[in-house]
Amino acid sequence: MNKGRNNTQVATFILLGFSDFPRIIVILFSIFLIIYVFTVFWNMGLFTLIKMDSYLHTPMYFFINKLAFLDFCYVSSTAPKMLSDFFKKQKSISFMGCAMQYFFFSGLALTECCLLAAMAYDRYAAICNPLLYTAIMSPTLCVKMTVGSCITGFCGAFIQLCGLLQLDFCGPNIINHFFCDLPQLIILSCSDSFFLQVITSVLTVIFGLMSVLVIMISYGYIVGTILKITSAEGRSKAFNTCASHLTAVILFFGSGTFVYLCPNSDDSLSQNKLASIVYTVVIPMLNPLIYSLRNKEIKDALIRWKRRIFSCSD
């Protein structure tokens, strides 16, 4: 039964943001601003470097390049609004603006789930079938996997958006978060949200569990292959090619699981809000660092471009 039919539909939501931390509001703003600037700089820098350096035009760096651009879009779906609201008295957002923010956030997050699974398959092909690697991971397949991840992710988000637009909101209109996340919107709805919750659960299984399953199977074969390598140097080199991707996977899925599988009680909302910072802001900043700091080919590419820049200036 729809309880909101005879009530006024809410047209605007109020985002509380981090107003429950008034004593450190300036510190939080400074930290998040620095993180966002570094995230944009690192991701777009890595994206440009891979795009322009011909030595990095391999399947592995093709996916890292797309992940860098995806993380730039992902963090930009929430961070600019969050930062602009810090010192506003009325942190308002329209209902349609709220729905569209969640649509892009969800679409990009689901796309990243698929892309991380595709990257796990790429590592499986590189380590378990090194002689056939270039044949298996052809440019056509890489493009298809990337485009497929994007289309699939945004199709899932569109299904959620359609369910969200069917809900009625008749008050209260206060969201205890820094962006329009679906669990908080469902709590505020005055209509039956069972169908949307079922859709969200199904999508979680399809994207979350299936992506994790693909990653686990890929790494199961990878570990088996690495253990068969006789030389310690060979095992170390094979492991290093996977360590960055595995770290990114653990951070992304670990933080998301903590937030979305924990009950949204009043005591846990502030904790969930801080945990949400990890997968919405911090992880997009860490990903390019994870893939760059211990990567010799990235460092070599940076050295080559430094030499080109200095030679041009001379």
Residue 312: per-residue pLDDT: 65
| Per-residue DSSP letter, 129 | S
Domains of the chain, CATH where assigned:
12-313 (1.20.1070.10)
Q: By the 8 A CB rule, do 53 and 60 touch? A: no
Reported as a pLDDT band with limits 50, 70 and 90, residue 263 is low
Across the chain, mean pLDDT equals 88
- Burial class from Cβ neighbours inside 10 Å (0-12, 13-18, 19+) for residue 213 reads exposed
Percent of the residues in the chain that have a pLDDT greater than 70, as a whole number = 91
At residue 49, what are phi and psi to the nearest 5 degrees?
-60, -50
163-217, pLDDT tens digit by residue?
A: 999 999 987 899 989 999 998 899 899 988 999 999 988 998 899 889 999 999 9
pTM: 0.91
Give the integer Cα–Cα distance in Å for 162 and 146: 24
Q: What is each CA distance from 226 to 2, 19, 118, 166, in whole angstroms?
A: 57, 50, 20, 51
For 94-141, write each residue's pLDDT tens digit: 999 999 999 999 999 999 999 999 999 999 999 999 999 999 999 999
Is the predicted pLDDT of residue 236 greater than 90, yes or no?
A: no
Average pLDDT over residues 258-269: 60
Q: Given pLDDT bands bounded at 50, 70 and 90, which one contains residue 1? A: very low
